[in-house]
Structure 1
Amino acid sequence: MADPLSFWAVAVVSVPAVIAIARAIPGDRPDSTGTSARGELRVLAGRELSLTLLTMALVQGATFCTFTYLALLVTNVTGFGPGWVPGMLALFGVGAFVGVTVGGRIADARPVTLLATGMVSLALGWTALALTAGNPVAAIVLVFVQGMLAFGTGPALISRVLQLAADAPTLAGGFATAAFNVGATIGPWAGGLAIGAGFGFRSPVWVSALLMILALAVIGPVLAMRRAPARRREEVLAV
C-alpha cells in the first residue's frame, strides 16, 4: 500500500503547475460559444491530437507509478530510514517546481526540442534509477532530476494539446485533464501489480521506464515529422 504522504505530496507538487498554467492563459481568449460539441469532438479525434493525449497519459503514468511507491523504494531498496521519506518526497517536489518554471519558458520557444529531449531523458532517468536505487547518492540525485524532467515536459505536452485543439477550445482542457488523470491512475495500478507479482520494490521504476518507452514509440513519429520545420522556426526566433 502506498504511503499516505505520497498523496499529500502529489497535491503539493501540483500547485506550481496550476499556478504556472493559470498565469500563462491569456485574459483575452476568444469566445467559443459558437462551437458545437460535435465539431469539437471531431477535432479531438484527430490522429496527432489523439496520440499526444495518449502520450500525456503514459508520461504521467510513468511519473506517478514511481512517485506513489517512492517511500517503499527509499526505505526497502535505498536503505534510508522512514524519517527520510518526507525529505525525498519534498526533493521530488522541488525538482517539479524547477521543471515547471524552466520548462514552461522553454516550451514557448522550442516545444518540439523540449518534448523530444525531455521524454528521452525521462526514459533514461527511470532506467538509471531502477539500476542504481540501492546507491543513496544516486537515488537522491535522480529523484530530484526525474521530478524536474517530468514536470518540465508537462507544459510542452499541455501546450501541444491546446495548439492542436485550437478549434475545440471548450473540450480541449477537459480532455487534457482526463489524460493526466488516466495516467495518474494507471501508473500506480501497474506499479502495484508489479510489486504484488513479487518483482520487488524496484519494479515500479522499471514500469515507469517501460511506460516512457511506450510514450516515445507513440509520439516519436509525430515528433520526427515536426522536427525539421520546428527547427527552422526556432532558428528564425533565435535571430
Structure 2
Amino acid sequence: MPLPLYLLAVAVCAMGTSEFMLAGLVPDIASDLDVTVGTAGTLTSAYATGMVVGAPLVAALARTWSRRAGLLGFILAFAAAHAVGAGTTSFPVLVACRVVAALANAGFLAVALTTAAALVPAHKKGRALAVLLSGTTVATIAGVPGGSLLGTWLGWRATFWAVAVFCLPAALGVLKGIPAGRATAAATGGPSLRAELARLKTPRLLLAMLLGALVNAATFASFTFLAPVVTGTAGLGELWISVTLVLFGAGSFVGVTVAGRLSDHRPAQVLAVGGPLLLAGWPALAMLADRPLALLILVFVQGALSFALGSTLITRVLYEAAGAPTMAGSYATAALNAGAAVGPLLAATTLGTTTGNLGPLWVSGLLVAVALLVALPFRRVITTVARAGVPSG
C-alpha cells in the first residue's frame, strides 16, 4: 500500500478519536453542563447528522479543489471547532461545534475515501479501505481510551483540547504526503455532478448503503452508552471505562484487518458468518453485562464483528459507486453516519425504561436483526456485487 494512504490514516485517527471519544465522556459532560446523560448522548447523533448532511454537500462543493487543499482545509477547520468546543460553557454551543466538526470530518473522509481508492488498483479497494479505517481502529484502541483517561483526570475539556492539538501533526502529514497537483476527477474532465448523483438510483448501491447504515447504527447504539454499563451494571470503577474502550478498539482493529483481506473477494462469506454471530452477541452482552469478565470478552468480540461487517459493506458501497469518482466517498460516509446518528437516538429512548443501562444493547441486537432480514432476500445480489467489482482471475 502507498505511503500517502498511511498518512491519511493518521488524520482519520485524529478525527476518529473525536467521533468515538464521547463514549467515555458523556457522564462528565452531562454533569458539567447540567443536562441528562441521554441529552449529552445526543452529541453523538448531532455529530453523525452533520456528517450525513455534510458528506455529499461538502464533497460536491470540493469537487474542483485539489485533494491536498481540500484535505488540509477540512482538518484545520476540524481542529478549530474543537478549540471552541473546549472553551464553551453552553450545551447548545457545544452541539454547534460538534456539527461544524462533523461537516469538516465529512468533507475530509469523503475526499480521503476517493483518494484512497484512486491510490490503488481497482480490485484492491477493500485493502485500501482497511488501511484508511485502521486510523479509526487505532483511535478506539489508543486515542479514545486516552481521551477517557484524560477526561477522568482533567475533565472533558482537556480531551477536546488534546484532539485539536492532535490534528496538527495529522495536517502536516497531509501537507507532506499528498502531492499538491493531485486534482479530483471533476477538475480533470471526469463525470458531471448530475451523472455522479444518478448513481444513487442504483438499487444495489442503495442496498449496500442501507445495510451499512443498519450495522453501524447497532454499533453506535451500544458504544455511545458503554460507560454506564461498565460502571453501573458491571460495577467497575471509572478507569475500567478506558479498558473497555481499548478492548473494543482492539477488536475493531482485528475485524477491519481481517475484513480488508476478504471484502474484495469474499464479502458474502464475511456477511454469512459474521452477521449471525453479531446478532447473537448483543443480547448475550446484555444478559452477561453484570459479569465483568464476560463483559470484557464480549466487547472485544462485538468490536471485531461490527467493524468486519461494517467495513465490508462500505467496501460494497465504493464498488457500486465506482462511476462517481468524487462522490463515492461521500455516499459511504453518509451511510456510515446515518447509522451513527440513528443508533444513539434509538438507544437513548430505552434508558428511562425497565431495561435501564442495558437498553442500548438490546437495541443493537434489534438493528442487526433488521439488517439480516433485509439482506436475506438479496443475498445473491450481494454476491453478484462482489463478483462484478473484482476482476476475474
Instruction: Indicate the TM-score class for this superposition, using the shorter chain for normalisation.
Output: 0.7 to 0.9
| Structure 2 runs not aligned, ≥5 long | 1-21, 28-42, 45-108, 122-183
2:362 pairs with 1:206: yes
What corresponds to 1:114 in structure 2?
Answer: 270
What corresponds to 2:378 in structure 1?
Answer: 222
CA deviations 1:101-157 (Å, max 9, x no partner) are 111112122111112222222111112111221222211110000111111222211
C-alpha change, 1:121 and 1:24, in structure 2 (3 Å) is farther
* Structure 2 residue matching 1:180: 3-state secondary structure: helix
| Greater Rg over alpha carbons, structure | 2
Number of equivalent positions: 225
* Structure 1 residue matching 2:362: 3-state secondary structure: helix
C-alpha change, 1:28 and 1:140, in structure 2 (3 Å) is closer
RMSD over aligned CA atoms reads 3.1
Aligned sequence identity (%): 44
Once residues 115 and 191 of structure 2 are traced to their aligned partners in structure 1, the CA distance between those partners, rounded to angstroms, is 25
What corresponds to 1:27 in structure 2?
Answer: 119
CA contact (8 A) 1:54 1:179 kept: yes
Letter paired with 1:78: A
State the structure with bigger RCO (CA 8 A, min sep 6), 1 or 2.
Answer: 1
| Structure 1 runs not aligned, ≥5 long | 9-17
Shift of 1:36: 2.0
- Deviating above 6 A after TM superposition, structure 1's stretches of 4 or more consecutive aligned residues are 5-8, 20-23, 228-231
For 1:76, which of 232, 235, 254 is the aligned residue? 232
CA contact (8 A) 1:88 1:140 kept: yes
Letter paired with 1:27: L
2:286 pairs with 1:130: yes
What corresponds to 1:13 in structure 2?
Answer: none
CA contact (8 A) 1:62 1:207 kept: yes
Shift of 1:162: 1.1
What corresponds to 1:193 in structure 2?
Answer: 349
What corresponds to 1:4 in structure 2?
Answer: 25
For 1:38, which of 194, 219, 222 is the aligned residue? 194
Once residues 174 and 23 of structure 1 are traced to their aligned partners in structure 2, the CA distance between those partners, rounded to angstroms, is 12
What corresponds to 1:88 in structure 2?
Answer: 244
For 2:211, which of 55, 72, 76 is the aligned residue? 55
CA contact (8 A) 1:52 1:219 kept: no
C-alpha change, 1:5 and 1:195, in structure 2 (3 Å) is closer
CA deviations 1:70-106 (Å, max 9, x no partner) are 1111221122222211111111111111111111112
Once residues 113 and 304 of structure 2 are traced to their aligned partners in structure 1, the CA distance between those partners, rounded to angstroms, is 16
What corresponds to 1:14 in structure 2?
Answer: none
TM-score, normalised with respect to structure 1: 0.82
2:261 pairs with 1:105: yes
2:88 pairs with 1:67: no
Shift of 1:199: 2.6
What corresponds to 1:180 in structure 2?
Answer: 336
CA deviations 1:37-80 (Å, max 9, x no partner) are 22222221222211211111111110011111111112211222
